[in-house]
Amino acid sequence: GIQVEQSPPDLILQEGANSTLRCNFSDSVNNLQWFHQNPWGQLINLFYIPSGTKQNGRLSATTVATERYSLLYISSSQTTDSGVYFCAVESGANSKLTFGKGITLSVRP
């Protein structure tokens, strides 16, 4: 099956700093989503982005499908950005998502 690798595994930032989170995948994808899992376990949809670039406030994402990677940018980080960021992809026609191992982000005040 498709492999999804995220890097770095852990990231510690000072409030106000910027960061880039990476997701590499091993095959072509129909769907790529970025999620934020907050400390209470809730998965929040950030982006649906199988290709191209999107922006939502301080967050933006870019997927280069031909090179099989996606990047999530967080600018002016806040403590509420802390949590685990997951990249998930779908490579077939069955809507099943394969998740990466996640990136744990800690933003310190």
Partner 1 sequence: SAVISQKPSRDICQRGTSLTIQCQVDSQVTMMFWYRQQPGQSLTLIATANQGSEATYESGFVIDKFPISRPNLTFSTLTVSNMSPEDSSIYLCSEGGRETQYFGPGTRLLVL
Residues interacting with partner 1, by CB under 8 A? Answer: 31, 33, 35, 40-43, 45, 48, 86, 88, 94-102
Cβ closest to partner 1, residue 21 vs residue 88 = 88
Q: Three-state SS for 57?
A: coil
Least spacing, CB of residue 72 vs partner 1, in Å: 16
| Residue 65 vs 97, nearer CB to partner 1 | 97
Judged by beta carbon, residue 17 or residue 60, the one nearer partner 1 is 60
Q: What is the smallest separation between the CB atom of 61 and partner 1, expressed in angstroms?
A: 13
Min CB(11)–partner 1 separation in Å:
16
